[in-house]
Copies of this chain bind each other. A is one copy, B any other.
Amino acid sequence: MNIGQFAVLTGVSAHTLRYYEKIGLLRSVVRNGSGHRDYAAKEAEWIGFINRLKETGMPLKQILIYAELRAKGDATAGQRQLLLEQHATQLAERIRHEQEHLAALEQKIHYYQTHFSG
């Protein structure tokens, strides 16, 4: 699959896919006879996981650390697990904070309702 098709499949632009490759998030992208990138469909799962980490606020630099461990194989599983556990803990805490913020917003909205409903 060429980069355009893979971009559609993953929802990540071709520009961004090249960028991810350049910074090391994507490794072992093979080329066809013309030198064009040729993606395997199953690589889309990895992009999906990158997106999940991004959407939970992990910076690319840290995702890159995970990617490097992943590229080293099973021996690094423990380190990757630790990394994910730490991230999950942070995420849980962020969710708690956001729930507090949401409650505060709803209270403020209620204030607007009761004081300015005229």
Indicate if the CB atoms of B105 and A56 lie closer than 8 Å: yes
Indicate if the CB atoms of A112 and B56 lie closer than 8 Å: no
A54-92 with Cβ < 8 A to chain B: 55-56, 74, 77-78, 80-81, 84-85, 87-88, 91-92
Q: Which of A56, A74, A102, A105 has the most CB of B within 10 A?
A: A105
Q: Which of B52, B81, B98 contacts A109 (CB under 8 A)?
A: B81
Question: Which residues of the other chain, B, contact A81 by a CB distance below 8 angstroms?
Answer: 109, 112-113, 116
Tell me the bound Cα distance from A92 to B27 in angstroms.
36
Question: Which residues of the other chain, B, contact A87 by a CB distance below 8 angstroms?
Answer: 105
Question: A104: CB under 8 A from chain B?
Answer: yes
By size class, the interface of chain A is 20 to 34
Q: Which residue of B lies closest to A80 (CB)?
A: B112
Question: Which residues of the other chain, B, contact A56 by a CB distance below 8 angstroms?
Answer: 98, 101-102, 105
A to B CB contacts below 8 Å, 23 in the list: A52-B104, A52-B105, A55-B97, A56-B98, A56-B101, A56-B102, A56-B105, A74-B116, A77-B115, A77-B116, A78-B116, A80-B112, A81-B113, A84-B108, A84-B109, A85-B109, A87-B105, A88-B102, A88-B105, A88-B109, A91-B98, A91-B102, A91-B105
